[in-house]
Structure 1
Amino acid sequence: MKKNFCLLSLLFSVLLLVGCGRSVTDESALKTVRQSNTITWGVEGDKKLFSLIDVRDDQVKGFDIDMAKAVTREVLGPKGKVKFILATSQSRIPLLKNGNVDAVIATMTITAEREKIIDFSHSYFNAGKTLLVPNDSKIKNVHDLNGKTVIGILGDNSVDVVKRFAPKAKVIAMQDYGQAVSALKSHQGDALTSDNGVLYGLAAENPSLKVCGGTFTKEPYGIAVNKHQRGFEAAVNRAVIKIQRSGEYNRLIKKWFGQVPGFNYRRLYYK
């Protein structure tokens, strides 16, 4: 009898903690960032235009970085601080789930599969999948990839997406964009597929490569936050909307994409 009572008491305590834990979790991220006056962001370091480490000062710079700073100012005020932790396509969700970062802004497409384990803000950038090929390539669009070898990035949804459009293509996945570009240049693959903004950045760095074929998908980027962080998610959403409506968003779009050859940056303007 005593043993059963103890077990019931333990079970009740566990259930009570679970119930309370959900409530605390709902508020913890927003409360934490306000107490520390800092938002810790997971960002990439190898995406020109979006988030690339500047070797001159070891600072990460790009559109995603400026958006993170702008969102932080809106959530915490003008004295709010930012901290950046480098992530890859494979590590950005684990960093978030493990509590190493408060939010992730890293060219991450909002997908139903990802929304099962994390939440997203409103879209802050409307990208689309396209192709990067050598200048002398005869590939014109995604349908020319059947029978070809296509390079993608581990942890990026490009690998799965391209199979829908070119089911007979062979897809190989690389760890990062540096490896992917090297593989393309050394003819290990016929094309590299990823988001248009990313590939235009790579083309700007590599004159022997070009973007071709236009976009064949819609890839809305969102700021990722942990599940059950409703207060923090709402604060981030309000910040994104305010930045877009104030004109700051269009200023940042022009700053980072206005001088990219061939890229129609005006279609990204918030109207």
Structure 2
Amino acid sequence: MTGGDRGVNAPLRALGTRARSRPLLAAATAAGCALAATAAVLVPTQKGTAAERPDRPPTAVEGQARGVSAAKCENPAASLRPTGDLDGPAVQRIKARGKLIAGVDQNSYRWGYRNPATGELSGFDIDLVHAIAKDILGDPGKVMFLAIPTNRRIPAVQSGKVDIIARTMTINCDRIKQVAFSTAYFEAGQQVLVPKGSPVKAFDDSLKGKKVCTAEGSTAEAKVREEPHGSTLLTVPNHLDCLVRLQLGQVDAVVNDNALAAGQAAQDPSVELVGKPFTTEPYGVAMNLKDVDLVRRVNKVLEDYRSGGANSPWMQAYQHWLASGLGGTDAPPAPEYRD
């Protein structure tokens, strides 16, 4: 049994024997989200497919979508302008199916999580997916959600199991060689989450001798491997698994995007963010490299989503889901284009 499809009772058993006491409400919330994580639809990696062979030269379409060579990656967040063909083969495929297939998270509070009161997926990323579905299909409800673990996001896009991934996914130079991204719809930064009173004070040498948890395949994992500060790294399939291990006393700190970690701190008031953000993490919607028209169409949706100042859909979603944990903001990140 793999980490991504372990038995549903495992998180509850673990929480029932946790090493140190945590508030009951926080434990119950985390357990509920951890249970949701076990129900995730795992998308298998198709080893040896053309999309995964780095030595294969890109097609003309893939080259257009990629736009930045491996050797020269000056601005990975620059995407395709919402001009030209916005209703090409990829968009027609979605319309013919009658559903947008979206890979999301279902255990990141305030971003993509299963609301225990309604059983429905909710959060900032979920609102954005509904906006994309409304633009393409005329109905925000015409979405098939697949819960995708952090380390399966790229394979899910490459294999065609999903049309889009909207799952707090950072745009960077390594990833744009594998998938195409929209313009950035949010900007976060890596930060450290610890129990209150911890001797760990930041992403620095106070981590020496400590055990640090990150999600496998995340930018946080890459950063800790690059600069461990004397710590030992534990990787898990999903971000929430790190919070559970922190509650159990199995790790001393979690390194994660502050946008996600703020949601975890809201779940458990006995933990807190320390230090300052030490990276810049622009989130984008990920798509297949060949789906150029879909990239342009999603960027059109994002243009509309950002428009309207304080009354824009983006600002309304931010105020509803994120402002209480991250504070106020004046505007969403401005789009950057390369053509």
TM-score (normalizing by structure 1): 0.84
Which residue does the alignment assign to 2:271?
209
Q: Show CA shifts across 1:208-237 (max 9, x none).
A: 111111211000000000011111110001
Cα drift, residue 78 of structure 1: 4.6
Q: What is the rounded CA distance, in whole Å, between the counterparts of 2:295 and 2:94 in structure 1?
A: 12
Cα drift, residue 106 of structure 1: 0.5
Percent identity for Structure 1 against Structure 2:
28
Preserved CA contact (<8 Å) 1:151 1:192: yes
Cα drift, residue 166 of structure 1: 3.7
Which residue does the alignment assign to 1:10?
none
Q: How many residues were matched structurally?
A: 248
Q: What is the rounded CA distance, in whole Å, between the counterparts of 2:100 and 2:113 in structure 1?
A: 19
Within-5 A mapping of 1:122-133: 122-133=183-194
Which residue does the alignment assign to 1:229?
291
Q: Show CA shifts across 1:98-130 (max 9, x none).
A: 211111100110011111111000000101101
Higher strand share: 1
Which residue does the alignment assign to 2:324?
259
Structure 1 runs (4+) greater than 6 angstroms displaced: none
Which residue does the alignment assign to 1:40?
101
SS at match of 1:90: helix
Q: Decide which structure has the larger Cα Rg and report it.
A: 1
Counterpart residue identity of residue 165, structure 2: V
SS at match of 1:91: helix
Preserved CA contact (<8 Å) 2:101 2:144: yes
Q: Show CA shifts across 1:156-214 (max 9, x none).
A: 12111123344422111122234312221232222101111110111111111111112
Q: What is the rounded CA distance, in whole Å, between the counterparts of 1:79 and 1:63 in structure 2?
A: 14
Q: For structure 2, list consecutive stretches of 5 or more residues without a partner in the other structure.
A: 1-58, 63-84, 335-339
Within-5 A mapping of 1:99-114: 99-114=160-175
Q: What is the rounded CA distance, in whole Å, between the counterparts of 1:74 and 1:83 in structure 2?
A: 15
Change in 2 beyond 3 A, CA 1:154/1:189: same
SS at match of 1:204: helix
Preserved CA contact (<8 Å) 1:142 1:165: no
Higher helix share: 1
Q: Show CA shifts across 1:43-94 (max 9, x none).
A: 0111001000122332111000001111222233357722211111022222
Change in 2 beyond 3 A, CA 1:224/1:179: same
Change in 2 beyond 3 A, CA 1:146/1:76: same
Does 2:213 align with 1:151? yes
Q: What is the rounded CA distance, in whole Å, between the counterparts of 1:270 and 1:124 in structure 2?
A: 6
Which residue does the alignment assign to 2:157?
96
Q: What is the rounded CA distance, in whole Å, between the counterparts of 1:255 and 1:249 in structure 2?
A: 10
Does 2:104 align with 1:49? no
Out of 219, 235, 242, the residue aligned to residue 180 of structure 1 is: 242
Preserved CA contact (<8 Å) 2:130 2:140: no
TM-score (normalizing by structure 2): 0.68
75-84 or 112-121, which moves further after superposition?
Answer: 75-84
Out of 310, 315, 323, the residue aligned to residue 250 of structure 1 is: 315
Counterpart residue identity of residue 197, structure 1: A
Counterpart residue identity of residue 40, structure 1: I
Preserved CA contact (<8 Å) 1:133 1:139: yes
Q: For structure 1, list consecutive stretches of 5 or more residues without a partner in the other structure.
A: 1-18
Counterpart residue identity of residue 172, structure 1: L
SS at match of 2:282: strand
Counterpart residue identity of residue 123, structure 2: G
Change in 2 beyond 3 A, CA 1:136/1:268: farther
Q: What is the rounded CA distance, in whole Å, between the counterparts of 1:235 and 1:150 in structure 2?
A: 39
Out of 113, 119, 127, the residue aligned to residue 66 of structure 1 is: 127
Preserved CA contact (<8 Å) 1:249 1:270: no
Superposed CA RMSD in Å reads 2.3
Preserved CA contact (<8 Å) 1:40 1:101: yes
